[in-house]
């Protein structure tokens, strides 16, 4: 059963919530309860079992699409492979600057490349811990440097629809912890059910991490990078940019000096309506969230317009496609809203000022520069960049493009491309405080021309390659004409139709507000946007890779309703506007890559960056040189503050949905402390042993403190010293009996041992202390003579294995017996549920856990669950001890943390002989695991699938297969 139970900090308060989660994990909760499963029974005080699976990479769920790119399409950098650390943080690796990870197949530095953080999963050691007031948090175990890659935000990739579903489920279950982070406009990473350690990172208004969206082998991934130097033991935090949709703000408990007080400083008043209410008084303002919880809508004030978003009409309702969408009022409303949103996005994007948060992609502009418009636009604020072109006349002729300006912690770079010559240059600008100040100082600009890369050529930029630029003017006009059509349609039959379902008031309000803004007609509105586009030149915001900040979010209906959200329309739109249709490799499950720049993730929302925005606006200097310009109209510069406020509003109002915040009272606080919901994972022993509440709490506290910290060096040292002691003893024994040195059979060894114990050397070993009575034969020592005499009366005090000559003394007789089973292959402990048999009872017990579907052995560091304690131990040693890969393969040099792994490697990869023959058919295998797999095929028991004709030799294969059926359904 593919369910992973974990005892973790339940944030859920009701049994129902647990059931819901179990249900989500396809675990038959009831069944387990009846079976008396280990933790199937949930009582009031036993609510800490929440299924959570540790995954190290994102897992797509349902119909969510995955971007695929062929290796040929991946951009390669120009770094020098012979450099000490090619593509490292210190280098100006072209890919790194663009937030692209190199691929070892295409990077000139190959495996030496240092720009593969995501792929190599190189995280500094970190651990979850219990915070005082914010549930669990994550802290670092080592010092982290500014700019260092800390972790990847990993979880299930879900689409908007499922996201909404999960949110509403969580709301119903009064779950207050959210783990959703927008990946792009269509997809969300939800780490609630599956994730890695990053899911425990809390919010702070003064964070030490920042999220960055990177392009890794064609797919977007979210990384967390250090904003500052972080000391070992400090909590890791980032700014959620959390947008509250509840009628109560979620209090922020980050304790930062400039804490905004709430998660997200722009909480929105919540309005709630049910489907019924919607028909009678839709979008009616002033309703309280507490009245209805199923359907949530909120007011979004944007530039004086009011938009109401109804989650209930999202997702599913759009699935049922009407024959003529123009006839369905609800769709029309959604389309209108989408149109409004698109237009406002267009505006906001064009209004964008350079973002300033350190470590963020600063901004991106495509600038067309010509001699005429330099003079025309006197009020423009110029961005001084470098030009590789020394000839000014050529400069004027050439169309230059600033691909983007990026500030990568210590450095700021301007990446420019010259289309005609197909050259690209990266210009590093010395430590500026603000882009404005920096750009007034042309002398400070060091130009580093980079030869044109075919991978970054125009053609690649114009198509669906990762270097895809923003919307072209044609695309914008195609968009505009579509918007115009929507408005035209909305004017006539729609209002009437809408009024029939009682939405006319809201609709007309929406249209009216836009109408008044756009001089009454949609055409005028469109005209306005055209003018806007013209006045900002061709400054258009690009889609990825330039979407810096990612937010904890749930997506809003209005975005869902956007026609471009559907793959068909997206592709259609691309065709209309002349953009090359994406390659099929990019369209997994038929959905096109992001077309619009993502408003939900296009900007930094924290108050700091907003204030920096303001600062920069004020600092924007007059142009000094016309070489390369990014145009802003003066009006925008003057309006900087206001527009930033609007931007900030928009940013904070970007789609985030969380359940209405629960009011925290003294009582609930006390309850939360006394209840075990903030407990840390307990060992199975702790779970199964009963005990009073107090004892339980104590155990929990202990478990919190006793996060295992195993020093690898200590471990290695102790092992080494033991091995050396053993070797020494052996040599001592043999050297004391020089005649038998050649013959090292166990018989000789026993004899030598006997001689040795009788010799004077014996006092040197710890086994023999003065005053003890030692048996000269087996080496056992006794405190009293009586016991020694009793021992001497035994017929035999040493037992030698007849198969391998291993010797046991009498005190280890049971071990000797057990050891014999290894050779006799009796396997007396048989599983009653499957054909497996074991030599030891403990092994059978451990095995039986597999049939319960539980994984009760929990790694206290990363919460990964295991069926077997040995697996857990190995995992801890491998993953959390920073253990070096000390076992090196002599043949290929690969390092391994465990000796067993090295042996396996040598056997399977390099060895030519097959040391593990099958006794039944004679086929031989290189490794034991391969043999075991093979032997299971001889088993008469098979596992047929109930849904199709397939039959499997192992249960796990059947389980895997069943998942396919589930997915297909």
Ligand X SMILES: C[S@@+](CC[C@H](N)C(=O)[O-])C[C@H]1O[C@@H](n2cnc3c(N)ncnc32)[C@H](O)[C@@H]1O
Least distance (Å) between residue 252 CB and ligand X: 4
Least distance (Å) between residue 14 CB and ligand X: 16
Least distance (Å) between residue 298 CB and ligand X: 18
299 φ, ψ (degrees, to nearest 5): -85, 135
User: Which of 277, 659, 212 has its CA nearest to residue 502?
Assistant: 277
Binding mask 473-512 toward ligand X (x if CB under 6 A, else -) reads ----------------------------------------
User: Which of 309, 304, 201, 292 has its CA nearest to residue 645?
Assistant: 304
Cβ distance to ligand X smaller for residue 109 or 126? 126
Least distance (Å) between residue 265 CB and ligand X: 12
Beta strands in 847-931 (DSSP E): 857-858, 865-866, 887-888, 895-896, 916-917, 924-925
User: Which of 803, 761, 753 has its CA nearest to residue 778?
Assistant: 753
Least distance (Å) between residue 185 CB and ligand X: 21
Binding mask 357-376 toward ligand X (x if CB under 6 A, else -) reads --------------------
Cβ distance to ligand X smaller for residue 353 or 601? 601
| Residue written as token pair 């992609």 | 361
Separation between Cα atoms, residue 444 and residue 438, nearest integer Å: 8
Least distance (Å) between residue 57 CB and ligand X: 18
| Binding to ligand X in span 795-854, by CB under 6 A | none
Cβ distance to ligand X smaller for residue 192 or 337? 192
- Cβ-contact 114, 86 below 8 angstroms: yes
- Counting contacts by CB under 6 A, is residue 200 touching ligand X? yes
Cβ distance to ligand X smaller for residue 12 or 754? 12
Cβ distance to ligand X smaller for residue 206 or 527? 206
Cβ distance to ligand X smaller for residue 22 or 48? 48
Max distance between CA atoms of the chain, in angstroms, equals 112
Least distance (Å) between residue 38 CB and ligand X: 23
- Counting contacts by CB under 6 A, is residue 179 touching ligand X? yes
User: Which of 780, 788, 789, 779 has its CA nearest to residue 752?
Assistant: 779
Least distance (Å) between residue 366 CB and ligand X: 36
Give the contacts of 111 (CB within 8 A, at least 6 positions apart): 104
Least distance (Å) between residue 523 CB and ligand X: 45
Least distance (Å) between residue 198 CB and ligand X: 8
Candidates 24-32, 130-138, 270-278, 612-620; binding stretch for ligand X (CB under 6 A): 130-138
Provide the sign of the torsion angle of the four alpha carbons 751, 754, 759, 764, taken in this order: positive
User: Which of 358, 349, 796 has its CA nearest to residue 609?
Assistant: 358
- Cβ-contact 182, 553 below 8 angstroms: yes
Provide the sign of the torsion angle of the four alpha carbons 79, 81, 85, 88, taken in this order: positive
Least distance (Å) between residue 201 CB and ligand X: 6
- Cβ-contact 914, 926 below 8 angstroms: yes
Separation between Cα atoms, residue 752 and residue 737, nearest integer Å: 6
H or E element that contains 441: none
- Counting contacts by CB under 6 A, is residue 907 touching ligand X? no
Using the rule CB under 6 A, which residue among 39, 134, 139, 677 binds ligand X? Answer: 134
Provide the sign of the torsion angle of the four alpha carbons 892, 893, 895, 900, taken in this order: positive
- Cβ-contact 309, 337 below 8 angstroms: yes
Candidates 252-260, 314-322, 703-711, 842-850; binding stretch for ligand X (CB under 6 A): 252-260
Query: Under rule CB under 6 A, how many of the chain's residues touch ligand X?
Result: 18
User: Angle at CA 13, nearest 5°, toward 10 and 18?
Assistant: 65
Candidates 155-163, 170-178, 724-732, 848-856; binding stretch for ligand X (CB under 6 A): 170-178
- Counting contacts by CB under 6 A, is residue 126 touching ligand X? no
Least distance (Å) between residue 658 CB and ligand X: 6
Residue 381: DSSP 8-state? P
Cβ distance to ligand X smaller for residue 254 or 456? 254
Strand bridging mode 296-302 / 270-272: antiparallel
Using the rule CB under 6 A, which residue among 89, 94, 178, 756 binds ligand X? Answer: 178
- Counting contacts by CB under 6 A, is residue 861 touching ligand X? no
- Counting contacts by CB under 6 A, is residue 252 touching ligand X? yes
Cβ distance to ligand X smaller for residue 254 or 587? 254
Cβ distance to ligand X smaller for residue 134 or 631? 134
User: Which of 424, 414, 415 has its CA nearest to residue 451?
Assistant: 424
Candidates 45-53, 177-185, 473-481, 835-843; binding stretch for ligand X (CB under 6 A): 177-185
Using the rule CB under 6 A, which residue among 98, 162, 254, 573 binds ligand X? Answer: 254
Separation between Cα atoms, residue 839 and residue 425, nearest integer Å: 68
Separation between Cα atoms, residue 335 and residue 342, nearest integer Å: 10
Cβ burial of 378 (10 Å; 0-12, 13-18, 19+) is exposed
- Counting contacts by CB under 6 A, is residue 779 touching ligand X? no
- Counting contacts by CB under 6 A, is residue 177 touching ligand X? yes
| Binding to ligand X in span 204-223, by CB under 6 A | 204
Least distance (Å) between residue 148 CB and ligand X: 21
Using the rule CB under 6 A, which residue among 40, 75, 124, 135 binds ligand X? Answer: 135
**Helix (H/G/I), strand (E/B), else coil: 231:** coil
Tokens representing 19? Answer: 């059931």
Using the rule CB under 6 A, which residue among 91, 171, 202, 652 binds ligand X? Answer: 202
Cβ distance to ligand X smaller for residue 167 or 450? 167
Least distance (Å) between residue 680 CB and ligand X: 10
Binding mask 255-294 toward ligand X (x if CB under 6 A, else -) reads --------x-------------------------------
List beta partners, residue 807. Answer: 800
Tokens representing 749? Answer: 């060894």
Tokens representing 419? Answer: 């289309």
Separation between Cα atoms, residue 518 and residue 531, nearest integer Å: 12
- Cβ-contact 186, 591 below 8 angstroms: yes
Query: In angstroms, what CA-CA distances link 487 with 283, 318, 340, 343?
Result: 21, 20, 10, 12
Separation between Cα atoms, residue 122 and residue 56, nearest integer Å: 11
Binding mask 3-42 toward ligand X (x if CB under 6 A, else -) reads ------x-x-------------------------------
Least distance (Å) between residue 177 CB and ligand X: 4
Candidates 104-112, 198-206, 228-236, 308-316; binding stretch for ligand X (CB under 6 A): 198-206
Candidates 173-181, 278-286, 852-860, 930-938; binding stretch for ligand X (CB under 6 A): 173-181
| Binding to ligand X in span 527-566, by CB under 6 A | none
Cβ distance to ligand X smaller for residue 240 or 529? 240
User: Which of 48, 42, 115 has its CA nearest to residue 75?
Assistant: 115
| Binding to ligand X in span 386-425, by CB under 6 A | none
Strand bridging mode 235-238 / 202-203: parallel
Least distance (Å) between residue 381 CB and ligand X: 37
Cβ distance to ligand X smaller for residue 514 or 860? 860
User: Which of 956, 671, 689 has its CA nearest to residue 7?
Assistant: 689
Separation between Cα atoms, residue 322 and residue 965, nearest integer Å: 30
Using the rule CB under 6 A, which residue among 67, 96, 199, 677 binds ligand X? Answer: 199
H or E element that contains 934: helix 928-938
Separation between Cα atoms, residue 608 and residue 628, nearest integer Å: 29
- Counting contacts by CB under 6 A, is residue 203 touching ligand X? yes
Cβ distance to ligand X smaller for residue 50 or 461? 50
- Counting contacts by CB under 6 A, is residue 136 touching ligand X? yes
Least distance (Å) between residue 960 CB and ligand X: 30
CA 656 to chain CA centroid, nearest Å? 18
> Which residues of the chain form contacts with ligand X (CB under 6 A)?
9, 11, 134-136, 176-179, 199-200, 202-204, 252-254, 263
């Amino acid at each position: 059963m593919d369910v992973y139970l974990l005892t973790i900090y339940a944030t859920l308060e009701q049994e129902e919530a647990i059931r819901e989660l179990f249900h989500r994990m396809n675990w038959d909760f009831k069944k387990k309860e009846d079976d008396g499963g280990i933790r199937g029974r949930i009582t009031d005080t036993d609510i800490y079992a929440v299924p959570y699976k540790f995954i190290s990479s994102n897992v797509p769920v349902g119909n969510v699409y995955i971007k695929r790119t062929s290796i040929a399409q991946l951009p390669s950098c120009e770094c020098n492979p012979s450099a000490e650390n090619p593509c490292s943080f210190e280098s100006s690796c072209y890919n790194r600057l663009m937030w692209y990870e190199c691929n070892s197949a295409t990077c000139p530095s190959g495996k030496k490349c240092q720009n593969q953080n995501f792929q190599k999963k190189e995280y500094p050691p970190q651990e979850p811990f219990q915070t005082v007031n914010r549930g669990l948090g994550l802290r670092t175990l080592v010092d982290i440097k500014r700019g260092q890659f800390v972790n990847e935000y990993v979880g299930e990739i879900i689409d908007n629809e499922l996201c909404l579903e999960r949110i509403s489920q969580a709301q119903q279950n009064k779950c207050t912890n959210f783990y959703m982070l927008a990946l792009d406009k269509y997809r969300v990473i939800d780490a609630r059910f599956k994730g890695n350690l990053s899911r425990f990172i809390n919010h702070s208004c003064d964070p030490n991490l920042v999220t960055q969206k990177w392009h890794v082998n064609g797919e977007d991934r979210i990384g967390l990078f250090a904003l500052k130097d972080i000391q070992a033991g400090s909590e890791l935090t980032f700014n959620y940019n959390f947008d509250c949709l509840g009628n109560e703000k979620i209090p922020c408990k980050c304790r930062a000096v400039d804490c905004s007080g709430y998660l997200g400083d722009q909480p929105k008043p919540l309005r709630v309506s049910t489907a019924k209410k919607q028909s009678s008084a839709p979008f009616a303002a002033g309703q309280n969230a507490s009245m209805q919880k199923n359907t949530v809508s909120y007011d979004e004030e944007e530039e004086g317009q009011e938009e109401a978003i109804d989650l209930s009409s999202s997702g599913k309702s759009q699935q049922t496609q009407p024959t003529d969408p123009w006839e369905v009022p609800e769709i029309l409303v959604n389309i209108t809203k989408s149109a409004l949103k698109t237009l406002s996005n267009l505006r906001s994007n064009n209004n964008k000022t350079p973002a300033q948060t350190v470590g963020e992609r600063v901004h991106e502009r495509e600038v067309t520069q010509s001699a005429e418009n330099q003079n025309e636009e006197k009020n423009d604020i110029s961005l001084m960049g470098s030009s590789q072109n020394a000839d000014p006349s050529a400069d004027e002729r050439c169309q230059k493009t600033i691909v983007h300006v990026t500030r990568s912690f210590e450095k700021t770079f301007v990446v420019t491309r010259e289309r005609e010559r197909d050259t690209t240059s990266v210009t590093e600008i010395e430590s500026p405080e603000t882009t404005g100040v920096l750009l007034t100082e042309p002398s400070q600009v060091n130009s580093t021309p980079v030869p044109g890369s075919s991978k970054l050529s125009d053609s690649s930029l114009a198509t669906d390659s990762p270097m895809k630029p923003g919307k072209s003017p044609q695309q914008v006009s195609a968009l505009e004409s579509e918007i115009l059509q929507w408005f035209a349609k909305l004017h006539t039959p729609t209002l009437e139709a809408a009024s029939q379902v009682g939405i006319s008031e809201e609709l007309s309000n929406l249209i009216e507000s836009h109408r008044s803004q756009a001089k009454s007609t949609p055409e005028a509105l469109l005209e306005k946007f055209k003018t806007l586009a013209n006045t900002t030149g061709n400054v258009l915001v690009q889609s990825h890779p330039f979407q810096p900040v990612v937010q904890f979010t749930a997506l809003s209906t209005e975005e869902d309703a956007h026609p471009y959200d559907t793959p068909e329309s997206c592709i259609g739109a691309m065709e209309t506007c002349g953009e090359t249709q994406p390659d099929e490799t990019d369209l997994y499950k038929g959905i096109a890559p992001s077309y619009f720049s993502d408003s939900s993730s296009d900007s930094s929302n924290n108050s700091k960056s907003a204030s920096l925005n303001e600062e920069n606006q004020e600092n924007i200097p007059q142009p000094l040189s016309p070489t390369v310009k990014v145009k802003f109209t003066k009006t925008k510069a003057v309006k900087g503050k206001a527009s930033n406020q609007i931007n900030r509003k928009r940013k904070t109002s970007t789609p985030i949905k969380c359940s209405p915040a629960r009011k925290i009272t003294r009582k609930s606080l006390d309850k939360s402390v006394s209840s075990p919901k903030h407990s840390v994972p307990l060992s199975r022993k702790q779970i199964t042993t009963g005990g009073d509440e107090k004892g339980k709490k104590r155990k929990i506290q202990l478990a919190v403190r006793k996060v295992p910290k195993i020093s690898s060096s200590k471990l290695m040292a102790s092992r080494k010293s033991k091995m050396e002691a053993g070797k020494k003893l052996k040599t001592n024994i043999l050297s004391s009996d020089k005649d038998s040195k050649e013959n090292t059979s166990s018989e000789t060894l026993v004899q030598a041992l006997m001689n040795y114990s009788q010799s004077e050397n014996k006092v040197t070993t710890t086994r023999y202390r003065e005053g003890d009575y030692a048996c000269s034969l087996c080496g056992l020592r006794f405190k009293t003579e009586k016991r020694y005499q009793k021992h001497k009366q035994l017929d035999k005090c040493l037992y030698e294995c007849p198969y391998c000559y291993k010797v046991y003394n009498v005190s280890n007789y049971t071990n000797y017996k057990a050891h014999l089973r290894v050779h006799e292959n009796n396997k007396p402990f048989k599983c009653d549920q499957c054909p497996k048999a074991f030599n030891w009872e403990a092994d059978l017990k451990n095995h039986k856990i597999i049939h319960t579907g539980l994984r009760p052995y929990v790694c206290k560091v990363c919460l990964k669950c295991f069926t077997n304690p040995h697996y857990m131990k190995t995992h801890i040693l491998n993953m959390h001890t920073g253990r070096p890969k000390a076992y090196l393969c002599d043949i290929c040099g690969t390092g391994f943390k465990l000796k067993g792994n090295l042996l396996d490697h040598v056997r399977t990869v390099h060895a030519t002989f097959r040391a593990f023959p099958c006794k039944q058919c004679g086929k031989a295998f290189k490794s034991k695991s391969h043999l075991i797999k093979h032997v299971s095929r001889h088993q008469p028991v098979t596992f047929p699938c109930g849904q199709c004709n397939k039959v499997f030799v192992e249960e796990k294969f059947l389980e895997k297969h069943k998942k396919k059926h589930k997915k297909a359904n």
